Amino acid sequence: MTVTRVPNVFDSLRLDAVSDEETLRRVYAMPGEPAVRKQMTELTDQTRQLISCSSLVFVASVDADGNCDVSPRGGPAGFVSVLDATTVAIPDATGNKRLDSLQNVIATGRAGLLFVIPGRTTTLRLNGRACVSTRPDLLSQLTAVGKPPASALVVGIEEVYPHCPKALLRGAAWKPDQWLPADAQPTSAEVTLAQLRMPGLTIADIEQTEADALKYRYQ
């Protein structure tokens, strides 16, 4: 049986999309010297301190077929350990056990990190080689999330880049007076219910599951 693919907006927009770097550069001026010079290959004392203040990091990865993924990791400030000037380790706290990021890293050996500090507008980007480690001597050091993790994502830094604050300022990320009211968005349970599409499953069921997952998050 032949399946006919229904065109969508993306299909129409990609027909005349920018296809090479030269064409893209016609739209933008070249970056200023500071934007280029501040990219480094190892951590400074200041970027180490930024990592020690961060309680949230986004992990970007890609699988062998080029499928991308970005996943959040959180913990108390400093939960990501700086092992040396070119190596950081992220403990893998108990989650949904899909292991998307870890499987991608095993497949390609690459990852990108974006560190966020609540209340501050500076973000720090790290890109480089990556691996998944289960070495007991490493895991025993990574107890910020409650106990030694089952594994750790280790990134060998090839690029360190502190972003300017424009994105978080434009998004009013830390300005509660500009946030939407809580009822302007669907709840986590409502989103999950729509995604699961399971007959008989209720909002209350999902809310209880979410509450249990938070209560027993270190088990």
Is-above-0.85 flag for pTM? yes
Q: Report the alpha-carbon distance of residue 77 to residue 56 in Å, rounded.
A: 8
Q: Report the alpha-carbon distance of residue 82 to residue 59 in Å, rounded.
A: 16
Would 184 be classed as within a structural domain?
yes
pLDDT of residue 2: 59
Domain count, the chain: 2
**Residue 208 contacts residue 192 (beta carbons within 8 Å):** no
Would 99 be classed as within a structural domain?
yes
pLDDT of residue 96: 82
Which of the residues in the chain have pLDDT under 50?
Answer: 218-219
Domain enclosing residue 204, as ranges: 180-215
pLDDT of residue 93: 86
